């Protein structure tokens, strides 16, 4: 603080603390101080424990690795310890959760933490965030649907990764519920990507045949766990899907999807939104090269 010219004399400041027997009661942390404060006022602030809090936003759809990167970049906590604890089954059990990892259990929202917060405290705050959103209504609906919290989080995480459009999430949920009921594989690309040891930004045909519990093209039913942290809207969509008979959807390439109830309709939509635009781009490219 002397280097910041907040106190005139280091020794006088230390003497003031010792004479009042408060030098050992000061709470460590980052404090907001200015030169207008007297030594007594600075000591009072240090004793108050009101450290500077930094807002940290965890976006919806982030996985554990991405959350760790955010926390590390903003110097909130030790990323290595965070990464270890979120996969430590003994620690996870202390939170009342039975899972191999906390993937999906760390609720995405904006939190406020002091810099250097212990990883276990950060994790607990995020799990508490999920419990605040997980209402009695949701619990009752999950019971009616015979779904555990883990299963709801898993389905909600897939919904979260499938669309960025809040208006579509109940429709995406309807497709997946209909497929689960009819015992049709979910065939979700985001789950396949999650199970890949490395992802180059493009999903390939060979990826759809890999042996992985997250390959929902080969494995029927839900994957073994969440693939990301779902937001409140996706959680509700998983529990309260739209009343629709859709079994398929395909991207319109504008952030939305075309939904279909039959394979014939779906194939027509694929032709319209995926194959035809590709052919047009290819023909245009050839025309340019031939000019």
Domain ranges of the chain: 10-48, 54-133, 144-246
Residue from 283, 246, 278 nearest 261 by CA: 246
Q: CA end-to-end span of the chain, whole Å? A: 70
- On the CB side of 69, how many CA atoms lie within 13 Å of its CA? 6
What is the structure's pLDDT at 54? 87
Note the pTM of the prediction, 2 decimals.
Answer: 0.80
What is the structure's pLDDT at 195? 93
pLDDT tens profile 263-272:
999 999 999 9
Which tokens hold the place of 277? 């635009």
Interatomic CA distance for residues 75 and 78, integer angstroms: 8
What is the structure's pLDDT at 285? 35
CB contact at 8 A, 255 and 167: no
Sort strands 54-57 and 110-113 into parallel, antiparallel or unpaired: antiparallel
Residue from 77, 38, 83 nearest 54 by CA: 77
**Secondary-structure class of domain 54-133 per CATH:** alpha beta
Give the 3-state secondary structure of the chain.
CCCCCCCCCHHHHHHHHHHCCCCCCCCCCCCCCCCCCCHHHHHHHHHHCCCCCEEEECCCCCCHHHHHHHHHHCCCCCHHHHHHHCCCHHHHHHCCCCCCCCCCCCCCCEEEECCCCCHHHHHHHHHHHHHHHCCHHHHHHHHHCCCCHHHHHHHHHHHHHHCCCHHHHHHHHHHHHHHHHCCCCCCCHHHHHHHCCCCCCCCCHHHHHCCCCCCCCCCCCCCCCCCCCCCHHHHHHHHCCCCCCCCEEEECCCCCEEEECCHHHHHHHHHHHHHHHHHHHHHHHHHHHHC
pLDDT tens profile 117-157:
999 999 999 999 999 999 999 999 999 999 999 999 999 99
User: Which residue, chain included where needed, has tokens 């519920």?
Assistant: 177
What is the structure's pLDDT at 9? 45
What is the structure's pLDDT at 209? 87
Q: Which residues of the chain have pLDDT under 70?
A: 1-51, 276-291
């Amino acid at each position: 603080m002397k280097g910041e010219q907040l106190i005139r004399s280091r020794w006088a400041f230390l003497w003031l603390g010792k004479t009042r027997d408060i030098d050992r009661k000061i709470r460590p942390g980052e404090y907001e101080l200015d030169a207008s404060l007297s030594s007594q006022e600075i000591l009072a602030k240090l004793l108050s424990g009101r450290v500077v809090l930094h807002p940290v936003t965890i976006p919806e759809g982030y996985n554990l690795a991405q959350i760790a990167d955010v926390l590390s970049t903003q110097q909130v906590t030790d990323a290595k310890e965070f990464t270890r604890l979120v996969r430590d089954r003994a620690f996870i059990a202390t939170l009342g959760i039975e899972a191999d990892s906390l993937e999906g259990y760390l609720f995405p929202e904006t939190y406020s933490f002091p810099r250097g917060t212990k990883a276990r405290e950060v994790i607990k705050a995020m799990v508490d965030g999920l419990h605040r959103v997980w209402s009695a209504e949701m619990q009752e609906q999950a019971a009616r649907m015979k779904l555990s919290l883990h299963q709801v989080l898993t389905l909600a995480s897939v919904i979260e990764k499938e669309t960025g459009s809040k208006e579509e999430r109940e429709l995406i949920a309807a497709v997946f519920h209909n497929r689960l009921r009819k015992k049709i594989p979910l065939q979700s690309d985001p789950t396949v990507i999650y199970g890949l040891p490395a992802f180059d930004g493009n999903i390939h045909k060979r990826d759809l045949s890999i042996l992985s519990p997250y390959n929902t093209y080969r494995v029927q039913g839900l994957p073994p766990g969440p693939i990301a942290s779902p937001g409140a809207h996706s959680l509700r969509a998983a529990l309260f899907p739209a009343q629709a008979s859709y079994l398929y959807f395909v991207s319109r390439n504008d952030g939305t999807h075309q939904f279909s109830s039959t394979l014939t309709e779906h194939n027509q939509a694929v032709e319209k939104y995926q194959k035809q635009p590709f052919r047009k781009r290819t023909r245009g490219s050839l025309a340019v090269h031939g000019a």
